[in-house]
Structure 1
Amino acid sequence: MKIKQYRTQFIKELSPFYDAYEAESFFYLILEDRHKLRQIDLALNHELAFEENDFAMWEELVNHLKNEVPIQYLLGKTHFYGLDFEVNENVLIPRPETEELVEWIINENASQEKSKKIKILDIGTGSGCIAISLAKNLPNAEVFGIDVSKKAIETAKRNAVRNNVDMTFMFLDILQTEEFTCQFDIIVSNPPYIRNLEKVEIKKNVLDYEPHLALFVEDNDALIFYRKIASLAKAGLKKNGKLYFEINQYLGKEMIELLENMDFKNIELRKDIYDNDRMLKGNV
């Protein structure tokens, strides 16, 4: 069968689950990953065809997509801030909003003198997407990433090698940590922040497949990670050091109050591309 014909069949088969644009994007992601063919290749050669033994693989992927398994997990990778990352069921799939947080940190700190080394700590590093993107784009930075999941740490280490960055990842339960062994210029975290009451807003592909450990907090203590990290940052940041958070869009006001009550300075709340309160910064 010609690939162009199969594309029409693929999109039609997924139409009860996804809109046509999304289904088509899945098709081209798989085509490039499994056959090293791009959309332009298909446009230039309408005669390109699949081999008979290709269809079993495609059918298996279609069945997974019908069950709303994220395409990133099926392919085992995703793109974030211009870099390629391995992702699996042990780590969250990086979001565009998190790229905005990385962009903010880079823009604010890239002008540092190249000779002046800065230390950065990423708490709850997951796939390592934040830490590795910062290490790649801030050559004067020494970057550390910590996580409570040993499997996430293993994934992050592979991603560091994949992206040719030299950095340190460590297993650490932040809620059980009393202090850091050194001070940092920047601490950044995208910790669990979705309350159980908000699960009704979460799509099946996230709720059923992404690690709940990295997503959810109890309704009665939604800021547990932020409070702990901010407390550690008071002593763990150097003078004028910066604390950056990705936050729950519904809790921007509460997050500002949290940092104000801990005497952080220059507190700034920013919205993401979807106009949601999503990023917060404070200085010690």
Structure 2
Amino acid sequence: MSAFSTATVNRLDQWLMQAAPPANTVGFTRFCWEFWFFGLKQARACLFVALFFASVLLVPRSGIMGIPRYDMLLVLALLIQFWMVWSKLETVDELKAVSLFHLVGFALEVFKTSGAIQSWSYPDFAYSKVFGVPLFAGFMYAAVGSYIIQIWRLLQQRVVHHPPYWMAVVVALLIYTNFFTHHYIGDYRWYIAAATLGLYARSVVYFTPLDRERSMPLLLGFVLVGFFIWLAENISTFMGLWNYPNQLGAWSVVHLGKWSSWSLLVIMTFTIVAQLKYVKRRIDVPR
């Protein structure tokens, strides 16, 4: 990526953070202004996601210049990640959070695609496959972490009535563990979801789409992000990036139940990012 593109993104960030509506803007007009800038900031926060997703759409299944598709996607993902850190769009501490989620996601992928489980599969050949999973797969999870990091800054988010950190960590661990253990001892997703509902019931996220602070229940934010990840998953499976067993003969919509799985995974990602970004200073934790 060129220095020009880096400067452009930095100027865009500065403009988004300092923009204000015309004087005396009220009512529906103000709503439109705020909604427009909320969308712009969401799109900007999805920079890593957008660049990586563009790679998925543009790299043909046959690969490029003899390089298999999965290997090319790995190279492009590494270049995007390097550029974001080099250009200071992500800090080294933020990279730690993204990398941790990459590892957590990759471990889950290895388990889910193993011979005993086979929840989904990666059908194409790649030199970069480890235990049957192409290394680029971890970046799909890291992209979620990158989005949360970027949107936190752009919307100047702060969380009020966040649950005690040890409780949040315990719930995150239970969410992650259940992805593995439900194959053996039953799926306790809805019990964990109920506990999460109680834990975050009072949590409110404050954000600034334009020049005034707004708020929404934190749980609603988790569900909305999970929904958009579910949409992206449908596009990815349609492109043949990976397949669920029911998609081997012909593509079909990913089961709606995956939405709940992604929403829970977003909560886990949020906890990781919150810990490694040291955002406790912007969170009101009950004593």
TM-score normalised to structure 2 length: 0.27
TM-score normalised to structure 1 length: 0.27
- Of structures 1 and 2, the one scoring higher in RCO (CA 8 A, sep 6+) is 2
Q: Larger Rg: 1 or 2? A: 1
Q: Which has the higher strand share?
A: 1
Q: Which has the higher helix share?
A: 2
